[in-house]
Chain A
Amino acid sequence: MEAASIPAGSLPRTRHTGDRVGDGLLYGLTALAAILGVLVIAAIVWRVADGAWPALRVYKLGFLWHNEWNAVTSKFGARDFIIGTIVTSFGAMLLAAPLSIAIGLFLSELAPPSIRVPVGTLIDMLAAVPSVVIGLWGIYVLAPFDANHVQPLIHSVLGWIPIFGGNAHTESTVFTAIVVLTIMTIPITSSICRELFIGVPSELEEGSIGLGATRWEMVKTVVVPSVRGGVVAAIILGLGRALGEAIAVTQVIGNFIPLKHTLFAPGDTIASRVANQYQGATTTIQIAALIYLALILLVITFLTNLAAQRVVKRFEFQRTGGD
């Protein structure tokens, strides 16, 4: 039995060829772009490893703990740059982490709604200031201020601890580099913290207040514990930024190895040395050694970033119940 017949040709059985081609083309084009973005990462790793190869072959892994940077004898090692990188970034995070959490709490829990947006915007603007400008300010404003006021003050109180010893009036110091990195990481870490704290369900907060907790007790027992993983990830992301910052650090740190046992002395970091030597490198092996330094930096930041992303992922999974 025939149903109501549709006249042939009035409804196409398949879609227009043009549409199929168009769909395929746009799909292919967008996929290509996405693959390109991922391929750039592979290309970066490959080219940097390749460029470092002459130095890798000569110095091998001993490069990591050898401590010398002598272009005349072509003896290169990275130990103090690695230590400098670790000291400056961890020092910066030691200062930036509590400050960022406090700012995040201020913006999410404490500030009246009318000032949340402007204050948040201003702190984001701090992130927009180019590192070379922070560095310029670091050399001519912050470093003298540190040398004349901050460092002597710390020295007079805590001078008995070796890391605060030495001549507190030095201008180019590891300490100033730590302060600069703190300034540069606070906006990143604090804005992630703010988002995390805002995401805490208000029923939890209200329940805690309803039980008689003060605001601080609510933050301590409910807000922060429920997003702990995210806060850790925010700090790791800030750390990644601090590890890789080259320009501002090289401007204030004084570019000097061997490192002293005090923060009030010049030092150097991996990124800072690479930035500082951009014109100085002439011999093939010295260029390769510089690229070796960049390779170390690449590996470190790659690992920290992946770690942070994993924590974030797991945290999101936990919060959304695997949605």
Chain B
Amino acid sequence: MEPTAISLRATGRSRRRLLVNKAAEGGAVLAAVLAIGVLAVVVWSVGSRGVGAINLDFFLKGPSSDFFGGKGGIAPALVGSLLLVGIATAIALPVGVLTALFVSEFAPRRAAEQVRLWLDVLNGFPSIVIGIFVFTLAVKTKVPVLGVGHHQSAVAGGFALSIIMLPLVARSTMEVLRLVPNHLREASYALGVSKWQTVLRVVLPTSLGGILTGTTLAVARAAGETAPLLFTCAIAGQIVDWNPTHSVQSIPLTIFEYSESADPGLHQQAWAAAFVLIVFVLVTSLAARLLLERSRRKLGLAR
């Protein structure tokens, strides 16, 4: 007598449940693929359109004044962006690191929570509003608060960018400081070292790598910001200008200007500038993330 074959195949209700499960899993995969696909399409579009206009002149020359040329470069914008981001980092790095030290080493819990909350709120402010703020502070004001007169300047633009960077630097520094093992601090105290010496000689050096990579991420973000510069910096510049009290050109504003222009030659320039910007931003953020991961693992192991 032959045994009746028992089918293990799901039928009816279980089959439907498995199908729904498969569909849901497929949906999740599709969503992830879609997001990565968009990134790939954006990078590819910028790369394929921009790379053609890139040569040595593109980095060394100013915009061409020749109407039919369309050639020329973005040297003034490169220098301007360098100045702006430099000024922004010079402000945001010390203030951000000190703020983080206050929160994680000195402040009572209540105060620490408050500072953390307001930093998050500041981080959520639209960058265009920060642009308007610096505009009312530095450009359209009776008292030249920033000390460079009532006009657009690299100082004003850099100050606006530093407000964008501050919460990012402070936040990432706090996270690194939290990873510094407590026994390092305790060992230092046990040797009779005072708190400030412990902070400066033990805590800070241990977390230096993490702080620097966090700052690099903030720099990458600031380098691409356009909105804070709209009101505080120049939109056109023909020559390279290193003077921070002057209004300087910048890469994001150049892209913005050229993208809205009617001249197809300038569109090509916009794509090329966008290519330079996107390569800088993606490479620095990727490198910073990898380093951050490494230093985090190192600190994690030390614990």
CA distance A215 to B252 in the complex (A): 45
- How many whole Å from A238's CB to the nearest CB in chain B? 11
CA distance A216 to B17 in the complex (A): 9
CA distance A240 to B127 in the complex (A): 12
B133 at the interface (CB under 8 A from A): yes
Q: Return the CB mask of A36-57 against B: 1 if under 8 Å, else 0.
A: 1110110110011011000000
CB contact under 8 A between A135 and B259, given known A51-B132, A126-B35: yes
Binds A, one of B61-69, B180-188, B218-226: B218-226
Residues 227-271 of B contacting A (Cβ, < 8 Å): 227, 230-231, 235, 252, 255-256, 259-260, 267, 270-271
Contact of B31 among A19, A103, A130, A291 (CB under 8 A): A103
Are A130's CB and B282's CB within 8 A?
no
Are A51's CB and B140's CB within 8 A?
yes
Q: Return the CB mask of A86-108 against B: 1 if under 8 Å, else 0.
A: 00000000000011001101110
- How many whole Å from A298's CB to the nearest CB in chain B? 5
- CB-defined contacts of B300 to chain A, threshold 8 Å: none
B291 at the interface (CB under 8 A from A): no
Are A103's CB and B32's CB within 8 A?
yes
- CB-defined contacts of A5 to chain B, threshold 8 Å: none
- CB-defined contacts of A131 to chain B, threshold 8 Å: 224, 226-227
Are B226's CB and A279's CB within 8 A?
no
Chain B residue nearest to A107 (CB atoms) is: B32
- CB-defined contacts of B35 to chain A, threshold 8 Å: 99, 103, 122-123, 126, 186-187, 190
Chain B residue nearest to A36 (CB atoms) is: B95
Q: Return the CB mask of B266-286 against A: 1 if under 8 Å, else 0.
A: 010011001001100110011
Are A278's CB and B230's CB within 8 A?
yes
Chain B residue nearest to A243 (CB atoms) is: B126
Residues 266-323 of A contacting B (Cβ, < 8 Å): 271, 274-275, 278-279, 287, 290-291, 294, 297-298, 301-302, 304-306, 308-309
- CB-defined contacts of A240 to chain B, threshold 8 Å: 124
CB contact under 8 A between A121 and B289, given known A38-B115, A306-B121: yes
Residues 193-222 of A contacting B (Cβ, < 8 Å): 214-217, 219
- CB-defined contacts of B119 to chain A, threshold 8 Å: 37
Are A133's CB and B224's CB within 8 A?
yes
CA distance A279 to B236 in the complex (A): 12
CA distance A51 to B141 in the complex (A): 9
B45 at the interface (CB under 8 A from A): yes
- CB-defined contacts of A111 to chain B, threshold 8 Å: 32
Q: How large is the interface on B (under 10, 10 to 19, 20 to 34, 35 or more residues)?
A: 35 or more
Are A102's CB and B31's CB within 8 A?
yes
CB contact under 8 A between A37 and B129, given known A106-B31, A110-B29, A133-B255: no
B90 at the interface (CB under 8 A from A): no
Are B224's CB and A51's CB within 8 A?
no
Are A48's CB and B133's CB within 8 A?
yes
Contact of A126 among B21, B38, B226, B277 (CB under 8 A): B38
User: Dominant SS at the B interface?
Assistant: helix
CA distance A48 to B134 in the complex (A): 9
Are A128's CB and B282's CB within 8 A?
yes
Contact of A31 among B41, B106, B270, B278 (CB under 8 A): B106
- How many whole Å from A214's CB to the nearest CB in chain B? 4
A60 at the interface (CB under 8 A from B): no
A15 at the interface (CB under 8 A from B): yes
Most buried by A among B38, B96, B111: B38
CB contact under 8 A between A301 and B124, given known A30-B106, A33-B98, A37-B119: yes
A141 at the interface (CB under 8 A from B): yes
- How many whole Å from A34's CB to the nearest CB in chain B? 4
Are B132's CB and A216's CB within 8 A?
no
A25 at the interface (CB under 8 A from B): yes
CB contact under 8 A between A141 and B226, given known A37-B166, A121-B289, A133-B277: no
Binds A, one of B1-9, B72-80, B192-200: B192-200
B154 at the interface (CB under 8 A from A): no
Are B118's CB and A271's CB within 8 A?
no
Contact of B95 among A31, A33, A47, A274 (CB under 8 A): A33
User: 9 closest pairs, A vs B, by CB?
Assistant: A244-B126, A130-B224, A33-B98, A30-B102, A19-B194, A102-B31, A305-B124, A214-B21, A216-B24
Can you pick out 18 interface pairs between chain A and chain B where the beta carbons lie within 8 Å of each other?
A19-B196, A19-B197, A26-B106, A26-B195, A26-B200, A27-B106, A44-B125, A47-B136, A47-B137, A103-B32, A121-B286, A129-B282, A131-B227, A132-B252, A141-B45, A291-B136, A294-B128, A305-B120
4 further A-B pairs in the complex, CB-CB below 8 A; given A44-B125, A106-B28, A106-B31: A23-B194, A32-B98, A136-B270, A215-B25
Chain B residues in contact with chain A, CB under 8 A? 17-18, 20-21, 24-25, 27-32, 34-36, 38-39, 41-42, 45-46, 49, 94-96, 98-99, 101-103, 105-107, 111, 114-115, 117-122, 124-130, 132-133, 135-137, 140, 163, 166-167, 170, 194-197, 199-200, 220-221, 223-227, 230-231, 235, 252, 255-256, 259-260, 267, 270-271, 274, 277-278, 281-282, 285-286, 289
Chain A residues in contact with chain B, CB under 8 A? 15-16, 19, 22-23, 25-27, 29-34, 36-38, 40-41, 43-44, 47-48, 50-51, 98-99, 102-103, 105-107, 110-111, 119, 121-126, 128-137, 139-141, 183, 186-187, 190, 214-217, 219, 237, 240-241, 243-247, 251, 271, 274-275, 278-279, 287, 290-291, 294, 297-298, 301-302, 304-306, 308-309
